[in-house]
Amino acid sequence: MIMKLSDSAHNLRQAIEKAMEDHEISRDEYDMILHHATEDGHIDPQERSLLSQLQDMIADKIIKVIP
């Protein structure tokens, strides 16, 4: 069964895809992503997965965090 992305998960996906295309993410963009993921007081499984993927790409230096 395919689950429909929530609006916040869709927005996170767009922000993460932009970071993947640029191979970098600013600290402000990263903070914004975390804010949007937590603003409703709940991180759903889709958001958790997207955040995990972003963290993995940062750890593997696929995406560089810039000031």
User: What is the helix (H) or strand (E) element at residue 25, kind and residue range?
Assistant: strand 24-26
- Distance CA(16)–CA(27), nearest Å, equals 13
pLDDT digits (tens, 9 = 90+) for 8-31: 778 888 888 899 899 999 999 999
Quick one: average pLDDT of 45-59? 92
**pLDDT value of residue 62:** 94
- Output the average pLDDT for the chain: 87
Is residue 7 within 8 A of residue 46, CB to CB? The reply is no
